[in-house]
Amino acid sequence: MRNYQSFILSLSKLFRASTYCPICQERDQGFNPLPDFYRANAEKYGYSHFGKGEMTALDTYSCGKCGASDRERLYAWWLSHVFESSTRRAYRAIHFAPEHGLSNFIRQRHLFSEYQTADFMMEEVDHKVDLMNLPFADEAYEFFICSHVLEHVTDDRKAIAELNRITKRGGKGILMAPIMTDLPKTIEDPSITDEGERWRLFGQYDHVRLYSRNEYVERITAAGFHLEQLDIAYFGSRLFKKLGLKPSSVLYIVSRP
């Protein structure tokens, strides 16, 4: 009963606030726009899809207090409401390319019984790994977070298959990538190494593809995952506004049957 009352109290405080960041727990701090660097490079290299991403909010991108991105704020909200209970904490989780703020949030909240981090190049992670060839046993983890990594790897289908392989049956994951709402077909070419050409085609110098929603969904489900697409209808427009989320934002939650 005490936990329920505490939840209701925190919820009422949240909805009295104009903005809220679940990462730092600050209310009414406001949000900062996407750095001008991205718009400037889009104009410089002729990237035609700038601002058309399904999620990235141009005007409310980062928290005014801690700098957490819009997607981190959404992940933190969802994670805390799904895993922050004693009956859910016996989960072994791995976080690929861990965002600093989100990773600290997970550790401080003790959302999982075991929490590990992994990346190909980042220092101070638990595992240095190639997402296309993971050194973990089959069904090694009950949960994973893999956000904005697939657009960097040469073979995303192989990477998604590896994520499926290491996920325990019944397990889940957050699996996200930049998706353009105006694209009928994914644009990709891992053989392109010129930074300017990558900016022009993919919107960033270290990306090798730009996803359409339909193909992104198809690649996830083809690997054997069940997919939930949690959008504004699921979370509510009021919460989206308080978290500073773009109305078209979608949280992709995968599970292994």
Each residue's pLDDT, cut to its tens digit, for the chain (257 residues) gives 445 445 444 555 555 679 999 999 999 999 999 999 999 999 999 999 999 999 999 999 999 999 999 999 999 999 999 987 655 556 999 999 999 999 999 999 999 999 999 999 999 999 999 999 999 999 999 999 999 999 999 999 999 999 999 999 999 999 999 999 999 999 999 999 999 999 999 999 999 999 999 999 999 999 999 999 999 999 999 999 999 999 999 999 999 99
Tell me what pLDDT residue 84 has.
76
Q: Are 161 and 238 in contact (CB under 8 A)?
A: no
pTM equals: 0.92
Tell me what pLDDT residue 8 has.
47
Q: What is the end-to-end Cα distance of the chain in Å, rounded? A: 33
| Closest alpha carbon to 177 in 205, 199, 201, 208 | 208
Q: Are 236 and 215 in contact (CB under 8 A)?
A: no
- Note the maximum CA span of the chain: 59
Q: Are 97 and 124 in contact (CB under 8 A)?
A: no
- Category of 189 on φ-ψ map: left (φ > 0), alpha (ψ -120 to 50) or beta: beta
| Closest alpha carbon to 223 in 175, 183, 188 | 175
Could you tell me which CATH number the domain at 2-255 has? 3.40.50.150
